[in-house]
């Protein structure tokens, strides 16, 4: 992957040029980096949503004390969150950022964990058993002399009625926390807090060997376990020039699609449960178990399968695999009809979903909301079509796109995608070629020096892996693109002006998984 | 502490019944013999309590999804008396810590635990809750919830199978069944009897304390 370095002084100008003249409207990723002597900075991956053209640029500052880079948060909306993340991990100060707070860690955290010279000692950061200071009521801006300045009480002022939702709340699908300012029942302002499940995966990975890192990807977004691992395996295989067999590609593609159905079934179940329809929850889980049975038979794991490995898959498919998958493909359309009867066409469901939380197409792109959410807003963002991998350019399937961008479209996209996934599987299942399920790789896996990147379509968006290698057994820096962070970033836009009860609908249909956001 | 023979797939009944630790516990409890009336009442109360343990919905990550499966159609923990999950700690009897607990989450978990009404129980589900699991050694992960709250049952696995989770939950039921309600758990402990002093947090910054005082 080619990365163009730009001086921080020229950086703003160049980025504006890329956005305006080259139409780079999708900021795929922002990877904070510590290059050691050469400075601290960030790599930006941009894409033109029309032409699918890609550009990677980077900038860095040699001042390790306070590395300053101009912000791009006014050009791409998602950059606001991404920059907060880079500030949190690397202490990069994005000049001009409207609100530079830590995103994941507590605000009394000492040091910047992903820097190479971070001191991990327990004494600096013990487990603090008291609540965080309310310092999070302030924004950070940069004073003219270059120091970071706190502006207390600008986020919410003292007269506002603020309620707290989460981190332990059933409607947040995990441990996410919102602070909402209300006027009556209407939400005025939203502040999202992440990091309650920040496990430091990227930092641990720098100590592990590549095959060891594989195990962690399953646990990021556990409902995209196969796809996540597929992405990492693909990235490493590309870097090492390993060609996997045809059989592996078939197995991987089928497994990815099964996983997608699994995730979408869980989506329907949980969305229904959040809206109070417990029956659908039970139905969804009943059918999901059928997929888990197949997974278990082949991989040995139900939820977390650890199936893909570098160069292939862990074990060959079983003799009854094809038969079971085919039976499932026959079974599920009937059940979808049942969901439609009980839930989708229910008047209450419609009343609560139609027209609620509308995300426009341009906003979806600016926020980088890929996956079902982006497609419900009319953005053709499916990685399987944009940058085909595995067998996706050989199979015939439709990219499901809706134009309304409301909660109901987001819901329908998933229902339709289940059917498309079934179609993909049906095309492949009878033709799995004979051959090895795994090619031999070197016992110790080293990646040649350089930067590598691979993406797949996860269950809820584009999942990307970025590896910077120095030719060692473990990566110099590894970054996973969270599928959920853009979805959470746009929560504010979707919520403000809506009723508080709509938080459940909007949160449920955006379908984020928190460990994937926090990593 | 006999139990009606439950039908559980894939774990032999003999193994299921094998509970040396609990047997030892019962023997110790009954060493001094129990009064018939009190003992009978104890049994009755424990029977009731152990068969309606409601858990708090507390799932931070992957293990939580398996916990949801246990609550859903195929495994259905309601069969064994874990009828529903509660969203409020005030209404819950037990907390299933399903998932990784991070530094930022630790005070929240502690507070939730403190908010629950006695008697309360904790089950640590999965490697993460037991010891930090695959993330042990991370700068932001708590290596085991037993560092901050007492744990009654540990269920290993990553994630544990639903059968294992059920087994763990039933193990807790057994534990509840051998409690001494009268003169046992329900007795006020004297100060000398407390195992250790209460947990005192010493590293609260002055600023936080000042804020607290201002609030009051
Ligand atoms: S023990 Fe494994 S499955 Fe459970 S939360 Fe931890 S990583 Fe996830």
Domain range for A65 is 1-119
ipTM value: 0.83
Do the domain assignments include residue B3?
Answer: no
Q: How many whole angstroms from A228 Cα to the centroid of ligand 1?
A: 16
Structural domains counted in chain A:
2
Structure tokens of A96? 């001009």
Q: Please determine, for residue B69, whether its predicted confidence score (pLDDT) is greater than 80.
A: yes
Among A84-93, A286-295, A493-502, B29-38, name the one with the lowest average pLDDT: B29-38
Q: How many angstroms separate the Cα of B97 from the Cα of each of A51, A469, B93, B113?
A: 47, 37, 13, 10
Look at ligand 1, atom 5, and give the residue with the nearest C-alpha: B99
Q: Give the chain B residue nearest A212 (alpha carbons).
A: B134
Compute the distance between CA of residue A428 and CA of residue A417 in angstroms, rounded to an integer: 17
Do the domain assignments include residue B119?
Answer: yes
Do the domain assignments include residue A315?
Answer: yes
In terms of residues, how long is chain A? 519
Do the domain assignments include residue B152?
Answer: yes
pLDDT tens string A104-137: 888 778 888 888 888 777 777 777 777 776 555 5
Do the domain assignments include residue B35?
Answer: yes
Which residue in the block uniquely carries the two structure tokens 């990021």?
A220
Do the domain assignments include residue B1?
Answer: no
Cβ-proximal residues to A121 (8 Å cutoff; 6+ apart), any chain: none
Confidence band of A94 (pLDDT split at 50, 70, 90): confident
Among A20-29, A397-406, B103-112, B185-194, name the one with the lowest average pLDDT: B185-194
Q: Give the chain B residue nearest A296 (alpha carbons).
A: B161
Q: How far is B70 from chain A (nearest CA, A)?
A: 10
Q: Give the chain B residue nearest A130 (alpha carbons).
A: B107
Task: State which H helix or E strand residue A189 sits in.
Answer: strand A186-193
Q: Residue A370: CA atoms inside 13 Å, Cβ hemisphere, count?
A: 28
Structural domains counted in chain B:
1
pLDDT tens string A32-57: 888 878 888 888 888 888 888 888 88
Burial of A113 (0-12, 13-18, 19+ CB in 10 A): buried
Do the domain assignments include residue A432?
Answer: yes
Domain end (from A119, A146, A174): A119
Q: How many whole angstroms from B159 Cα to the centroid of ligand 1?
A: 5
Do the domain assignments include residue B139?
Answer: yes
Residues A228 and A96 in one domain: no
The answer to whether the CB of B65 is under 6 A from ligand 1 is: no
Q: Please determine, for residue B194, whether its predicted confidence score (pLDDT) is greater than 60.
A: no
Q: How many whole angstroms from A445 Cα to the centroid of ligand 1?
A: 26
Q: Please determine, for residue A339, whether its predicted confidence score (pLDDT) is greater than 80.
A: yes
CATH number of the domain bearing residue A56: 3.30.460.80
**Residue among A114, A127, A229 with most chain B CBs within 10 A, to mutate:** A127
Tell me the whole-structure pTM to 2 decimals. 0.85
CATH number of the domain bearing residue A235: 1.10.645.10
CATH number of the domain bearing residue B47: 3.40.50.12280
- What is residue B82's predicted lDDT score, i.e. its pLDDT? 82
Residues A454 and A352 in one domain: yes
Do the domain assignments include residue B5?
Answer: no
- What is residue A139's predicted lDDT score, i.e. its pLDDT? 60
Do the domain assignments include residue A50?
Answer: yes
Residues A210 and A113 in one domain: no
Cβ-proximal residues to A451 (8 Å cutoff; 6+ apart), any chain: A1, A3, A43, A56, A466, A467, A468, A469
Domain range for B79 is 13-215
Do the domain assignments include residue A255?
Answer: yes
- Residue B158 contacts A, CB cutoff 8 Å: yes
- What is residue B12's predicted lDDT score, i.e. its pLDDT? 63
Q: How far is B204 from chain A (nearest CA, A)?
A: 7
Q: Residue A47, SS3?
A: strand
Buried b (16+ CB within 10 A) or exposed e, A410-423: bbbbbbbbbebbbb
Q: In what order do the strands lie in the sheet with A161-165?
A: A161-165, A177-183, A186-193
Do the domain assignments include residue B4?
Answer: no
Residues A397 and A301 in one domain: yes
Q: How far is A131 from chain B (nearest CA, A)?
A: 6
Do the domain assignments include residue A126?
Answer: no
Residues A346 and A437 in one domain: yes
In terms of Cα–Cα distance, which of A289, A175, A236 is closest to A454? Answer: A236
**Mean per-residue pLDDT over chain A, rounded:** 84
**Complete DSSP assignment for A74-94:** TTSTTHHHHHHHHHHHH--EE
């Amino acid at each position: 992957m080619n990365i163009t370095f730009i001086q921080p002084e020229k950086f703003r100008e160049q980025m504006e040029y890329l956005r305006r003249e080259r139409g780079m409207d999708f900021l795929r990723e922002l990877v904070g980096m510590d290059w050691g002597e050469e400075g601290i900075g960030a790599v930006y991956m941009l894409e033109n949503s029309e032409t699918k053209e890609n550009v990677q640029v980077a900038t860095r500052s040699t001042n390790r004390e306070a590395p300053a880079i101009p912000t791009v948060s006014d050009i791409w909306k998602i950059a606001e969150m991404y920059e907060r993340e880079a500030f949190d991990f690397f202490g990069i100060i994005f000049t001009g950022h409207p609100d530079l707070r830590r995103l994941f860690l507590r605000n009394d955290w000492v040091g910047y964990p992903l820097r190479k010279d971070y001191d991990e000692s327990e004494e600096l950061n013990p487990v603090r058993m008291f609540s965080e200071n309310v310092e999070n009521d302030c924004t950070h801006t940069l004073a003219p002399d270059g120091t970071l300045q706190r502006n207390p009480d600008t986020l919410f002022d003292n007269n506002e009625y603020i309620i707290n939702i989460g981190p332990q709340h059933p409607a947040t699908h995990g441990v996410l926390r919102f602070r909402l300012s209300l006027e009556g029942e209407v939400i005025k302002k939203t502040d999202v807090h992440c990091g309650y499940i920040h496990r430091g995966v990227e930092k641990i990975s720098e100590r592990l060997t590549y095959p060891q890192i594989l195990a962690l990807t399953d646990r990021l977004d556990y409902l995209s376990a196969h796809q996540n691992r597929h992405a990492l395996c693909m990235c490493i295989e590309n870097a090492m020039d390993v060609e996997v067999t045809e059989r592996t590609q078939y197995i991987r593609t089928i497994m990815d699609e099964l996983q997608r159905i699994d995730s979408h079934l869980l989506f329907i179940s949980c969305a229904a449960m959040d809206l109070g329809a417990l029956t659908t929850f039970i139905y969804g889980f009943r059918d999901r178990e059928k997929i888990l049975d197949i997974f278990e038979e082949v991989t040995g794991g139900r939820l977390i399968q650890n199936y893909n490995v570098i160069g292939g898959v862990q074990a060959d498919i079983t003799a009854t695999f094809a038969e079971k998958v085919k039976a499932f493909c026959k079974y599920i359309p009937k059940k979808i009809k049942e969901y439609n009867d009980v839930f989708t066409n229910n008047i209450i469901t419609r009343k609560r979903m139609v027209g609620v939380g509308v995300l426009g197409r341009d906003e979806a792109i600016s926020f980088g909301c890929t996956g079902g959410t982006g497609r419900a807003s009319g953005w053709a963002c499916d990685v399987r079509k944009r940058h085909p991998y595995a067998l996706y350019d050989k199979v015939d399937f439709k990219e499901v796109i809706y134009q309304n961008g409301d909660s109901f479209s987001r819901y329908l996209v998933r229902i339709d995608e289940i059917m498309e996934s079934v179609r993909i599987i049906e095309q492949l299942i009878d033709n799995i070629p004979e051959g090895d399920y795994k090619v031999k790789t070197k016992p110790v896996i080293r990646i040649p020096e350089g930067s590598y990147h691979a993406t797949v379509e996860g269950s809820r968006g584009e999942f990307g892996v970025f590896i910077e290698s120095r030719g060692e057994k473990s990566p110099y820096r590894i970054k996973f693109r969270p599928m959920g962070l853009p979805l959470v970033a746009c929560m504010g836009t979707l919520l403000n002006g809506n009723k508080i009860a709509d938080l459940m609908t909007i949160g449920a249909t955006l379908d984020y998984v928190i460990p994937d956001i926090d990593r | 502490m006999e139990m009606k023979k439950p039908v559980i797939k894939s774990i032999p009944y003999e193994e299921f019944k094998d509970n040396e630790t609990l047997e030892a516990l019962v023997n110790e409890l009954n060493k001094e013999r129990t009064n018939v009336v009190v003992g009978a009442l104890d049994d009755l109360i424990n029977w009731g309590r152990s068969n309606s343990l409601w858990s708090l919905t507390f799932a931070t990550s992957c293990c939580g999804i398996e916990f949801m499966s246990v609550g859903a159609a195929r495994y259905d923990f309601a069969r064994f008396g874990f009828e529903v999950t509660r969203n409020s700690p005030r209404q819950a009897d037990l907390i299933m810590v399903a998932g990784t607990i991070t530094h930022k989450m630790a005070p929240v978990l502690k507070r939730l635990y403190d908010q629950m009404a006695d008697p309360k129980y904790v089950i640590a589900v999965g490697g993460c809750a037991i010891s930090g699991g695959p993330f042990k050694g991370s700068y932001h992960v708590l290596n085991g919830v037993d560092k901050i709250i007492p744990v009654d049952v540990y269920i290993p696995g990553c994630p544990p199978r639903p059968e294992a989770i059920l087994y763990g939950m039933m193990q807790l039921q057994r534990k509840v069944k051998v409690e001494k309600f009268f003169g046992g758990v329900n007795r006020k402990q004297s100060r000398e009897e407390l195992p250790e002093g209460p947990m005192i947090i010493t590293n609260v910054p002055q600023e936080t304390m000042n804020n607290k005082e201002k609030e009051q």
